Amino acid sequence: MNTLGRRTLLLMIPVNLVLIVWVWFGRVVFGVGGWFFLIFMLSVVPVLLIALLVTTILAFTQPGRPRSLTGSQAVTQVVVWVAMFVFGAFMPDFGDTDDSHISLLTQVFGPSDAALSASYTIAFGAAAVVLVSYLVLLVMLIADRRKQERPPPPRVTTAPV
């Protein structure tokens, strides 16, 4: 049994839930709060809940005991988590005033177009990594399920002549 795979499987539910909340309003920890709190609640959070629920169900209903992710599935799940954390930390937010675009980087380095641009670049890069790694994980979970559900080929035996 793969230790990383077993631990990752057991952590899927709590870490997925924490990171959904983090993506939703984790920026507030760094003093970055604005309209994305409401926008993400109505658009991003439901999509993340459904998507992560699908992979969690697929992972927990894999055949075999004790249940465990494969090494590649576990690494891909960890990549999804890290990218979600990065997205939640670096996604800029905005408010009702002209100069209310803030992000983690503008809080650390001061308000500037370069810091804001870098924040968007990091956040959108992390979002792309989440999407690609999630799709890879989904394909791996489905492919492994199909591979394990396929009956073994029939054995052909010949009688000695």
Q: What is the pLDDT of residues 20-35, one digit of tens each?
A: 999 988 888 877 778 8
Do residues 119 and 109 make contact, with C-beta atoms less than 8 angstroms apart? no
Q: What residues make up the domain containing 84?
A: 3-145
pTM score, two decimals? Answer: 0.85
Q: Is residue 155 part of a domain?
A: no
Nearest to 56 by CA among 69, 43, 46: 69
Q: Which residue has the higher pLDDT, 146 or 104?
A: 104
User: Which whole number is the average pLDDT over 5-9?
Assistant: 93
Of the ranges 2-11, 29-38, 41-50, which one carries the lowest mean pLDDT score? Answer: 29-38
pLDDT in tens, 93-137: 877 766 667 888 888 888 888 988 999 999 999 999 999 999 999
pLDDT in tens, 43-62: 999 999 999 999 999 999 98
Q: Is residue 160 part of a domain?
A: no
Contacts of 122 (CB under 8 A, 6+ apart): 86, 90, 105
Overall number of domains in the chain:
1
Q: Is residue 153 part of a domain?
A: no
Q: Is residue 122 part of a domain?
A: yes
Q: Is residue 74 part of a domain?
A: yes
Q: Is residue 129 part of a domain?
A: yes
What pLDDT is attached to residue 1?
Answer: 53
Residue 156 pLDDT more than 80?
no
Nearest to 62 by CA among 156, 144, 138: 144
